[in-house]
A and B are shown apart, each in its own frame.
Chain A
Amino acid sequence: MPNFGFSIHSPTHIDLDKNYRTIFNYVKVKEPSIQKCIFCGSCSATCTASNYSAMSLRKVNLLLHRGMVQEVRSLTEQCLLCGKCYLVCPRNVNTRRIILLIHEALKMPLS
């Protein structure tokens, strides 16, 4: 393709008609508490990694709900697994286990 000197951005919107929620469903079966999240953000506020990176468990959880795998991958790599988020969660979501399950799912061939 000839170079016309400009590029086109790929769409950034969330397309729920195309996204697959494979990882969400994988985590949900093993750790149903993921469904209880009310996206309050207390996990992100207390997160050790969030001081130095874009890591936010609230965001990871939302992205999983919306089936946006690529973004989940880059964020969860930053997690230190300290578990502070689990301590502050008002809904008692097992956040640390969710991160471990995401890591597990991301290694699987489907994702």
Chain B
Amino acid sequence: MPRIAVIGGGVAGMEVAFRLSQLSFEVDIIEKSFILGGHVHKWQKLFPDFTPAHQIVDQLKNQLRDKVNILFGNEVIKAEQENTKHILYLSDGTTQVYDAIVITTGFKLFNANRKEEYGYSVYPNVITSSELEEYFQNDKPIITKENRIVERIAFIHCVGSRDEKVGNRHCSKVCCITAVKQAIEVAQRNPDAEIYLFYMDLRMFDRKFEDLYLQAQTEYGIKFVRGRLSEVSEKADSRLFLKLEDTLLGKPLRLTVDLVVLMVGMETAENSIQLANALGIPVGQDNFMLPVNCHSQKNITGNRGIFVAGCASGPKSIGETLADARSAALEVYSYLNCN
């Protein structure tokens, strides 16, 4: 029976592994941490319909049960190829031989320290979107680090995305809708708060996204201002002073807020580039892996028997990631049955 390695146990890896096991292949998931679910595991609710994230992860875990072998705490150190066989040397010292490999290493969040002017890790009340998500574990009002109830909050779009200076020209795709979702969740917890979103463009690309945007405007009175934040400074009372331009009015704009949320974008995962080098897969200018083409062969890499799915080949929503994973599973099936 052909053996397949799935590198990365996020939602993409879990879905690929499950589908391949359904097609009666022997599948190993190689996961560097000791949990499954990747980034989704750390999220509370999902756009655009507020589905609890754990529902998706739990469902995928249940599907995998007893069907897939999971090698936790493991990374690929070296890779070799012998005819159609791929040999992987793992960090636990073992050597495994596979007939096909699916790369599902995903992404990492942009390190907000690199945008110094935004004051992340300098001012305690500047946080990232991923840190805000931790506040949503319960229904309590959002408070500042000094335990004041947040009366004014600013969401800053495109932090580490569409920014050539930090080396990321690409759009991370999901932060626009995530900001709208999180703004609504803040409005539900702090009904009197003034909520501002500072954007360059609002990219509401998928179904129901525009509806959520309209709901944010009409039901929650969330304010959208077109303009990119230039700098943050802290006042004596630890509130934050923001400077930007309202580019629709063509005037500079100033305001003081209690909390700033940076919508950090996606970058290629920590060790994806080494893995791409080891397996002979090209990466794009954005450092995400490049499939043969982005229309009809988006899961097929230039190296025979190696496939890619999910955010390893660029930012995707969860729905898109799962669809991409299923499509990759079918590509692996076709490849192994034609050999």
Q: Which residues of A contact B (CB under 8 A)?
A: 12-17, 28, 32, 35-36, 39, 58-59, 62-63, 65-66
Contacts and interface: CB of A to CB of B under 8 A. Distances in A.
Contacts of A16: 253-256
B252 interface: yes
A62 B249 contact: yes
17 contacts: A12-B251, A12-B252, A13-B254, A14-B249, A15-B255, A16-B253, A16-B254, A16-B256, A17-B256, A28-B221, A35-B217, A35-B221, A39-B248, A59-B249, A62-B249, A65-B223, A66-B249
A91 to B, nearest CB: 8
Interface in B103-129: none
Contacts of A65: 223
A55 B248 CA distance: 15
Interface of B: 214, 217-218, 221, 223, 226, 246, 248-249, 251-256
Contacts of B254: 13-17
Contacts of B255: 15-17
Contact of A14 (B218, B226, B251, B256): B251
The 7 closest A-B pairs by CB, nearest first: A16-B255, A13-B252, A14-B253, A35-B217, A35-B218, A17-B256, A14-B251
A41 to B, nearest CB: 9
A31 to B, nearest CB: 12
Nearest to B246: A14
Contacts of A36: 214, 217-218
Contacts of A14: 246, 249, 251-254
Contacts of B251: 12-14
A61 B100 CA distance: 58
B157 to A, nearest CB: 16
A17 B196 CA distance: 13
A60 to B, nearest CB: 11
Q: Which of A12, A13, A39, A63 has the most CB of B within 10 A?
A: A13
A62 B217 contact: no
Contacts of B221: 28, 35
Q: Which of B221, B223, B248, B252 has the most CB of A within 10 A?
A: B248
A66 B194 CA distance: 12
B214 A66 contact: no
B163 to A, nearest CB: 24
Contacts of A58: 248
Nearest to A13: B252
A62 B221 CA distance: 14
A32 B221 CA distance: 10
A90 to B, nearest CB: 11
Contacts of B256: 16-17
Contacts of B223: 65
Contacts of A66: 246, 249, 253
A63 B218 contact: no
